[in-house]
Amino acid sequence: MFKRYYHCFIAGLFDLGFDDGKSIPTLEDFRSELKEILHPDDFRLATCLFLPYDNRNLLKFLSGKSDGHDLLGNFSVEDFEEQVRILDSIIKENGILPAYMVEVVREWIAAEKNIDLIAAEKKLTEGYYSLVNETGNTFLRKWYAFELDLNNILVMKNSMDLGLDTSEQIVGSNQLAEELRVISRRKSDFRVPPEPDYATSVFNIAGENEFLEREMKIDIVRWNYINDLIFFEYFTIEFILGYMVKLSIALRWKNLDPDRGEEMLKLLVSELKETNDKSKEIEQN
C-alpha cells in the first residue's frame, strides 16, 4: 500500500506538548491538529481510533441516556438522531454512521426502540473490528487484533473468577477466541493457550488482585506492543497512530494516578526525542 510521509510533523511532535512546563494536549486537540496536517485518507485512519468511543456513545443513546456523551467520539447525539430519522424516512437516504452502527440502530428501531444492550455491544465490537480490517492498514489491523485478544482474555478470566460462563461474550473467531470459549465453558482445569506469545503474560496479570497495579501492567504490555509495531516506522501514519494510542494511555493514567501519568508522559517524550534523533540520522545518510 502507498505510504505518505510526514517528516516535519513527526520530527517536531514532541514540541506539541507536556515537557518544559507546556500544557498537556488533549486527544481532541491532537485530532484537530491531525485534521489540518494529514491527507484525508490518513485522517480517516486516525478517526478509526475514536470509533470505540462512538460505540459506547451509541449504546448510551440507544438505552435512552442523554448525559455523559464522550466528546472523543466522531459522532454527536445529533448525528445519532439524524441517523434514526434517515432510517425512519420513506425516502431512501445514505446513512451518516458506519454501516455496522447503522445495522444496530436499524435493529433497535425494528424492536420498537428496545434492544438487548449486551448483544448490541458485541455486534458493535465485531462490526468495528471488521471495519478496521477493511482499512488495509497494517498498524490498525495488528493493533486491534491484539486488543481483541487482550479484551477476550480479560473477559474470560473475570468470568471464571465469578464462576460464570461468558463464552457468548467473547468476540471474534480466531483460534484464541475459540480456545477461550472452551475454557470459559469448562471453568477449570485449563492450560493457558501458548499462542499468541503475549497470552501467558496477560493471563498472569489478569489474575492479580490490586486494580491499579493490574491496569498499569496491562497498559505496559500495550505500550510495548505498540513500540514493536512502529519500530521501523519513523515518518508514516503508522507512527502517528501509535503515538495517539500511547498518548491516550498516558492521559488516562494522568486521571487515574497523576504521578504514574507523569511518568508515562515523560517516557513518551523520551521516546519521541529518540525517534527524532533517529530520523535525523536517516536524513543525513
Confidence of residue 16 (pLDDT cuts 50, 70, 90): very low
Distances (CA, A) of 45 to 42, 61, 103, 153: 5, 25, 22, 26
| Amino acid 113: pLDDT | 87
- Examine the pLDDT at 276 and tell me if it is beyond 80: no
> What pLDDT digit, counting tens, does each position of 90-101 carry?
888 888 999 999
Rounded percentage of the chain residues whose pLDDT exceeds 90: 46
Distance, CA of 11 to CA of 240 (rounded, Å):
11
Q: What's the grid cell of residue 50?
A: 475514536
Confidence of residue 278 (pLDDT cuts 50, 70, 90): low
| Amino acid 162: pLDDT | 72
Confidence of residue 2 (pLDDT cuts 50, 70, 90): confident
**What is the per-residue DSSP string for the chain?**
------HHHHHTGGGGSSSTTPPPPPHHHHHHHHHHHS-HHHHHHHHHTTHHHHHHHHHHHHTT--S---TTSSS-HHHHHHHHHHHH-SS----SS-HHHHHHHHHHHHTTS---HHHHHHHHHHHHHHHHHHT--HHHHHHHHHHHHHHHHHHHHHHHHTT---GGG----SHHHHHHHHHHHH-SS------STTHHHHHHHHT---HHHHHHHHHHHHHHHHHHHTTT-SSSHHHHHHHHHHHHHHHHHHHH-HHHHHHHHHHHHHHHHHHHHHHHHHHH-
- Examine the pLDDT at 177 and tell me if it is beyond 70: yes
Average pLDDT, the chain: 86
Average pLDDT, stretch 66-76? 91
Compare 161 and 20 and report the one with higher pLDDT: 161
| Amino acid 21: pLDDT | 44
- Examine the pLDDT at 188 and tell me if it is beyond 90: no
Average pLDDT, stretch 134-150? 94
Peptide bond into 196 cis (omega under 30): yes
- Examine the pLDDT at 212 and tell me if it is beyond 50: yes
Average pLDDT, stretch 139-163? 87
Specify the pTM: 0.88
CB 7 within 8 A of CB 235: yes
Average pLDDT, stretch 112-139? 92
Average pLDDT, stretch 231-242? 91
| Amino acid 135: pLDDT | 93
Distances (CA, A) of 94 to 47, 62, 75, 91: 20, 20, 16, 10
CB 236 within 8 A of CB 5: yes
